[in-house]
Amino acid sequence: MVRTPHKIYKNVADSETGVIRKQWKKRVKVALVYPNTYHVGMSNLGFQAVYELINSYEDMLCERSFLPDDDERTGTGRITTIESGNDIRAFDLVAFSVSYENDFPNLLSILEKAKLPLQSKDRVPPHPLVIAGGVAFFLNPEPLAPFIDCFLIGEAEAVLPKFLTTFSPDTLARDRQQCLNIIARDVPGAYIPSFYSASYHPDGTLGALEPIFDVPAKVERLYVRDLSRTPTCSAIITSDTIFDNTFLIEVSRGCAHGCRFCASGFVYRPPRFRPFPLLMECMDQGVSKTSKIGLVGAAVSDLPDLEKICAKVEKDTRVSFSSLRADALTSELLSVLRKSKAKTATIAPDAGSERMRKVINKGIEETDILEAVEQIVAAGILNIRLYFMVGLPTETMDDVEAIPALCKRIKHQFLKSSRARKRMGEITVSLNSFVPKPFTPFQWVKMDDVHLLKEKIKKVKNALKRVANVRVHADIPRWAYIQGLLARGDRRVAQLLSRANANQGNWPKTLKSSPINPDFYVLRERSLDELLPWDFIDHGIRKTFLKSEYKRALQGKVSPPCPVESCSICGVCTENSEDKV
């Protein structure tokens, strides 16, 4: 008999369309957990795609669970699933889907609330196997290595099928070690941290991460080479998400532009696009369920058939885009936004000065930005959101001051175009602290310290505080510091995560009392010859390519976009290429 949702999920479950519920008997049971609230997790298309993929197997049952909301955390403390209300301990697999490093502490909190041992080594039958996947672990799983039985490194459609057909609950119940041995032997992309040992040099840098069992020294990231037969769309539609009853369609993976701060432009190489017929099938599926369609991708405006799709949008359908470049706005795109009654358009200059945009290889100029503003206003869109970063490599205070200066020029263009149409809107500036990420050309750089980031944010805010119709929202530098710690940490950072969990998320107390110096991971520039904690993951990208891009950044030199076809520049598309990360 299929059970009903636990009472804490009753309201959200009632508003969902597309939920999959299965009988428990004779099925492998998977609790798919997003380590954040329901609202955040259900806004994640990748999470929904994994839910649908696992449930596509007749002998599999997948149910969802989330971090309880604040007002629910004082209740029973149980971690239950939406579909049946069962405790996640009752499942064969607990599978975490993680996109962001700042959710790492939530993962530990969920394990603790579920009364599962935090450390992998302490789990014994009948404990479920705890696995984890998601882009956060394409980059660097090491800070969570002691807590996870098995990481799956790669895109779900490529790595999950073999894992699901290999995993045996009976073997897990009989011999946990044998279960892991079989997975390590038979599942490409599986990384079992307990099968590897880390050693360190006297200066604290990583000396080696070596197998202690018969497993590969490097773990290959698996990816779907051809997306033409692999649609990725919303499995469930609900009003309780960022997108509010929107049917999301992934149009592409990866990004050709190679912005040097952006991990998705490197770990999702090569860039891949879904063909027009498949996307139209997805559109038809979406409009049969809702009037809101969201097109998702790292650079939606690069989609070759985007204008053809826009031409097919029906009158009563509202379409939104996750990302549009300032140099790629077309009349067709703006027409769709206008018909969709879009109130805000987003532009991401990322840096205020032309010099900094060359350093980060952004590939747009100020004229592109100002022309985009004019086009947006002409399309009747009243509000503009601008994204910038502070703390980028080589940044000077002149570069920081260039951010409000550019915002003022944008405001001037905005007002000039708005007055002609007798309509006024608002400009929102979103200011974020730069955090270096693995597998990018900036993986070696140090972060600005919290004090300097605060100073830079204050400078931008002060310069814009008297500018009418311009609002500035900035992130909190101390949380960017924590993200930097988790993004590039090694296994020793797991001790900090354990302490933070014991301190109920009190990071100042945790960092103050820890014998580990977090500045070692956040504020230290790495040598180009240093072994990095994530170097055991093979993305196909030559390390020499990333080094070259880093050096070009320091010289302020731009690089051309990925040609989106077989070439030998970065190594991903080169058969049997050597010197890969």
578 pLDDT tier (thresholds 50, 70, 90)? very low
* pLDDT tens column, 90-120: 999 999 999 999 999 999 999 999 999 999 9
Written as six digits, the tokens of 263 are 């991990």
Q: What pLDDT does residue 207 have?
A: 98
Residues 6+ apart with CB under 8 A from 419: none
Contact between 355 and 556 under an 8 Å Cβ cutoff? The reply is: yes
Tell me the mean pLDDT in the region 361-380: 93
- 521, 260, 562, 538: CA torsion to nearest 10: 0
> Phi, psi at residue 384, to the nearest 5°?
-130, 135
* pLDDT tens column, 390-447: 999 999 999 999 999 999 999 999 888 777 666 668 999 999 999 999 999 999 999 9
Output Rg (C-alpha) for the chain, integer angstroms: 24
Contact between 538 and 220 under an 8 Å Cβ cutoff? The reply is: yes
H-assigned helices in 167-314: 169-174, 176-186, 264-267, 276-287, 306-312
Average pLDDT of the residues of the chain: 93
- Omega before residue 275 within 30° of 0, cis: no
Residues 6+ apart with CB under 8 A from 337: 319, 320, 321, 345, 379, 381
Helix (H) or strand (E) holding 29: strand 28-34
Q: Which of 3, 157, 205 is nearest to 87 (CA)?
A: 3
* pLDDT tens column, 255-302: 999 999 999 999 999 999 999 999 999 999 999 999 999 999 998 999
Residue 283 Cα distances to 184, 271, 402, angstroms = 39, 22, 41
Helix (H) or strand (E) holding 366: helix 366-378
Query: In Å, how far from its chain's centre is CA 528?
Result: 26
Residue 497 Cα distances to 104, 134, 391, 493, angstroms = 8, 19, 25, 6
* pLDDT tens column, 537-560: 999 999 999 999 999 999 999 999
Mutual angle of helices 156-166 and 45-55, in 10-degree steps = 40
- Is the confidence at residue 13, as pLDDT, over 90? no
Q: Report how far residue 100's alpha carbon sits from residue 137's, in angstroms, rounded to the nearest whole number.
A: 9
**Helices and strands in the chain: count of H runs, count of E runs:** 21, 19
Q: Tokens 């260039």 appear where?
A: 402
Give the largest Cα separation in the chain, rounded: 75
Give the CATH number of domain 7-220; options: 3.40.50.2300, 3.30.70.20, 3.40.50.12780, 1.10.3720.10.
Answer: 3.40.50.2300
Q: Report how far residue 163's alpha carbon sits from residue 167's, in angstroms, rounded to the nearest whole number.
A: 6
Asked whether the CA dihedral 235, 30, 217, 204 is positive or negative, the reply is positive
Tell me the mean pLDDT in the region 370-379: 91
Q: What pLDDT does residue 576 have?
A: 41
Q: What pLDDT does residue 74 have?
A: 44
Q: pLDDT above 90 covers what percent of the chain?
A: 83
Pairing state between β 427-433 and 470-474: parallel
Q: Which of 452, 512, 500, 445 is nearest to 477 (CA)?
A: 452
